[in-house]
A = this chain, B = another copy of it.
Amino acid sequence: MNIVNTIEEVRDKVKSWRKEGSTIGLVTTMGYLHEGHESLIKRAVSENDKVVVSVFVNPTQFGPNEDLKTYPRDITRDGELCESAGASLIFNPEPSTMYYKDASTTINVKGLTEGLCGAKRPVHFGGVCLVVSKLFNIVTPDRAYFGEKDAQQLAVIKRMVRDLNFNIEIIGCPIIREADGLAKSSRNAYLSKDERKAAVVLSKSLECGKKALNSGERNADKVKKIIIQKLNSESLAKIDYVEIVDSLNLKPVSNIDGNILVAIAVYIGKIRLIDNFTFKI
């Protein structure tokens, strides 16, 4: 697998691909790739001539008490996964390559970033917008692929791309799950054996919510209550939030109508996991 560390190497590759008339897909990741990332890369490979995967544990999207230092890393395994999935290039920069010491530019998407995960992670989405903008400007892809598991991130990126006129198509890809329903996440690696078993309650609780919606329930509080009840049945689970919001502007809804996002964040022991589904009427 061709792994490069400098911006110049990426730009040179992109320039030569563009000369050939190739289209370019981008999958931005923090590495420790799993089948969720793999599905994004394969989708990108199927829709573009060349695919760049960025592997960068981005410091600006971690809060001071978050897991920047312990975030799992394995570039060798990531290289193998990218190779077999058909990627063309991995961009694996050092933090000092991406950020000058006196970096002073910030990007924020107001309104969409205050609720859900943003409420507890005030710097997170600013850091995401910043690094994604930088990667967009370095790789200049035609299409960029993001997982629907990070539903708020996907909505924020779509809004940023629209507002800043990036000429890039943003493609959301379905959540990939373990056999028991747990959404794939690099952070699942942190879970103990008991926690791993308990973590299935996230997807199970969402199934309960979905069932209520499919049965015609349109009162958001009632659907949330059903999800909360299921989550509370698991003693290792501690709810961060259970929210039902408009899919586009992420504002809470009380009566379910149009396109909605049902999103949850739950601590299993000390590990914070997220899951969600969208629902259309």
Contact = CB atoms under 8 A, between A and B. Distances in A.
Interface residues of A, number: 30
A165 B108 contact: no
A163 B105 contact: yes
A61 B95 CA distance: 32
B100 A110 contact: no
Contacts of A102: 111, 249
A255 interface: no
A121 interface: no
Interface string A193-217: 0000000000000000000000000
B159 A104 contact: yes
A226 interface: no
A134 interface: yes
A96 interface: no
A278 interface: no
Interface string A155-170: 0000110111111000
